[in-house]
Homo-oligomer: A and B are copies of this chain.
């Protein structure tokens, strides 16, 4: 998994049916984990807010582990880090 900070969200009205009802969060991945400033878009059904540090699962883990086995999802917020600011 990777750690990142929620920095925003994107809205997509025309989308794959299986994605309806999901929030698409913009996650700024930690510079310790990726190149500088790299972002990904992850669904969130944990309820992370802007500025929170989160654990992001990628690949088939995001889809299967979040009960969305048949949806085109490749990244998901799977936890909110306690005291995440210490990671900066």
Taking CB atoms, residues of chain B closer than 8 Å to A79 are 12, 14-16, 19, 24
Q: Within residues 20 to 71 of chain A, which ones have a CB less than 8 A from any CB in chain B?
A: 24, 30, 32-35, 37-42, 46-47, 55, 57-66, 69-71
Q: How many angstroms from the CA of A1 to the CA of B9 in the assembled complex?
A: 12
- Give A contacts to B, CB under 8 Å: 1-3, 10-16, 18-19, 24, 30, 32-35, 37-42, 46-47, 55, 57-66, 69-76, 78-83, 87
- Across the interface, do B41 and A2 meet the contact criterion of CB distance under 8 Å? yes
Task: Give the shortest distance, in Å, between A54 (CB) and chain B (any CB).
Answer: 8
| Among B63, B69, B80, contact of A14 (Cβ-Cβ < 8 Å) | B80
